[in-house]
Amino acid sequence: MAVVETSSPGAAPKTSLGRAAEERRTAWFLTAPALLLMVVILLAPVVIAGVLSFTNYSLGNTGFDWIGTRNYERLFTRSTYEKMFVATLTYVVTVVPISVGLGLGAALLINSLGRFRELYKTIYFLPVMATLLAMAIAWEFMLHPSIGMINRTLEMGCGTVLETVWPFMANGCAERFPVWLGDKRYAIWVICFIGIWQGFGFNMVLYLAGLTSVHRELYHAAEMDGAKSGWDRFRLVTWPALGPTTVFVVTITCIRAFQVFDTIEAFWPQGGGPNKSTYVMMFAIFEKGVQQNLIGIGSAITMLFLAFVMFLTLIQRWLVERKVHY
């Protein structure tokens, strides 16, 4: 039997079921603006891009044709898009493990310091705070083949060594240094290096936050069980305790790696690098959808990009649900 409540002497009786229904209506009323914004800003563009990916639509045209899966077939059959997949996967596979490993190593080193800890945190985190477009311009000057600091430094070092060992070869030393941004063999690796330099400080901060949750009692217990060396303490205590942090760091780093664009746009605004060697997915979306006004194929690349991100998100959720923190 429902419980009858009265809020005041003159008010009508209200059952517990009616009160629960009123609370649900209030909850929906309060969350409706956020839900509406999520639909308009997030879900609606995805649905529109999915629909346009099956068309040949271009901005300014009064109509368009339904072409089915032809855009997706082009993505998997043309050599240009094959280079897009190769460049994207090369960047992700290179940047993610190295930046995660360096972030973990820097966090462990800083966490072990007694003095100057905040100074090192600031130094390592500076590339994250800097505007990547401005940093790309600075890197472009440093990588210049003739006046750049990197080649000039290599020239000085090479010349010193050759003057000592092979003096007759020292004069032509500078001619053998690569044109870093103009050679397809080196362009993608330059982008990977800049991505690692710019991203590992962010991973370091995340790992430092994760290290604060590792209880000191665990180290004492491991030491009593025979874990005397630093490697044993890391292997048996620190690394398992950082399981959830590692899953989050790897997922975020993968998503950020798929989103690389600023550096490539700053270095090669017209073509995605020499011989399309740095033609990653985000640049392809920009080129097709904005520069060439090919909304259909640009939407198809966008949907493929979202599929990769969704796949990574599902993997993260699966790992977290399996209690990766042991």
Q: How far is CA 157 from CA 131, 170, 176, 280, in A?
A: 31, 10, 13, 34
| Domains in the chain, number | 1
> Does residue 38 lie in a domain region?
no
DSSP assignment letter at 3? P
> Does residue 50 lie in a domain region?
no
Q: What is the pLDDT of residue 155?
A: 74
Q: Coil, strand, or helix at residue 143?
A: coil
> Does residue 201 lie in a domain region?
yes
DSSP assignment letter at 12? P
Give mean pLDDT in consecutive 10-residue pieces for the chain, a chain of 326 residues.
Answer: 49 68 87 90 90 87 83 89 91 93 91 80 81 80 80 70 46 61 86 90 91 82 77 83 87 89 84 84 90 90 90 78 55
**CATH number of residue 273's parent domain:** 1.10.3720.10
The H or E element spanning position 26 is: helix 16-38
**Burial of 283: CB neighbours in 10 Å, binned 0-12, 13-18, 19+:** buried
Query: In this structure, what token pair is assigned to residue 250?
Result: 């790897």
Residues 6+ positions from 322 with CB-CB distance below 8 Å: none
Domain range spanning residue 284?
Answer: 79-143+180-321
Q: What is the pLDDT of residue 302?
A: 92
> Does residue 72 lie in a domain region?
no
Q: What is the pLDDT of residue 169?
A: 43
> Does residue 133 lie in a domain region?
yes
Residues 6+ positions from 166 with CB-CB distance below 8 Å: none
Query: In this structure, what token pair is assigned to residue 106?
Result: 């820097």
> Does residue 30 lie in a domain region?
no
- Gap between the Cα atoms of 139 and 206, Å rounded: 26
- Gap between the Cα atoms of 78 and 45, Å rounded: 27
